[in-house]
């Protein structure tokens, strides 16, 4: 089974990604997700570059993006991602009132998604444009 790869035993290609993560996020070490992905340097590099690009502030601010990331992770039941993006969202400014409302929306969407499925509701013409 894959084991985490630490900086000291990493290849130059992996170290380059770790260095970029550390400088971009201003952290002393990368978190476990990256240490495990380092078993496949191509996936490590591609995933980091995609995450770095997608999570940068743009039309949406970082806090909103992290809350969406957390919402999906909660909906999918990915425990690692709930812990890591729960932390990241809070660092980006999500307070506990926002967290509570985020969870309420995630829960309600999961409920009404199934009600729409079960009642086999056809899409309204007003929504097809």
Per CB under 8 A, the segment of 8-16, 17-25, 116-124 that binds a second copy is 116-124
Q: Site for a second copy (CB under 8 A): which residue of 1, 8, 23, 26?
A: 1
Task: Name the token pair of 97.
Answer: 């009132």
- Rounded to a whole number of angstroms, the minimum distance from the CB of residue 69 to a second copy is 5
100 binds a second copy (CB under 8 A): yes
- Rounded to a whole number of angstroms, the minimum distance from the CB of residue 119 to a second copy is 4
* Nearest Cα residue to 34 out of 51, 58, 54, 55: 51
Q: Are 105 and 71 in contact (CB under 8 A)?
A: yes
Sign, CA dihedral 35-82-99-114, equals positive
- When the beta carbons of 24 and 50 are compared against a second copy, the nearer one is 50
- Rounded to a whole number of angstroms, the minimum distance from the CB of residue 54 to a second copy is 5
Task: Name the token pair of 126.
Answer: 């007003």
Q: Which residue has the tokens 């999961």?
A: 110
Q: Site for a second copy (CB under 8 A): which residue of 9, 11, 24, 32?
A: 32
Q: Site for a second copy (CB under 8 A): which residue of 10, 14, 37, 89?
A: 37
- DSSP helix/strand/coil, 111: helix
What is d(CA 38, CA 14) in angstroms, rounded to the nearest whole number? 6
Site string for a second copy, 44-83 (x = CB under 8 A): --xx--xx-xxx--xxx---xx-xxxxxxxxxxxxxxxxx
């Amino acid at each position: 089974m894959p084991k985490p790869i630490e900086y000291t035993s990493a290849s130059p290609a992996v170290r380059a990604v770790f260095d970029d993560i550390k400088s971009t996020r201003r952290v002393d070490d990368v978190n476990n997700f990256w240490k495990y992905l380092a078993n496949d340097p191509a996936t490590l590099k591609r995933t980091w570059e995609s995450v770095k690009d997608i999570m940068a502030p743009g039309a949406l601010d970082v806090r909103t993006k992290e809350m969406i990331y957390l919402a999906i992770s909660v909906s999918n039941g990915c425990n690692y991602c709930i812990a890591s993006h729960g932390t990241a969202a809070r660092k980006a400014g999500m307070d506990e009132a926002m967290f509570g409302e985020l969870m309420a929306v995630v829960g309600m969407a999961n409920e009404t998604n199934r009600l729409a499925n079960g009642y086999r509701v056809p899409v309204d013409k007003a929504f097809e444009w």
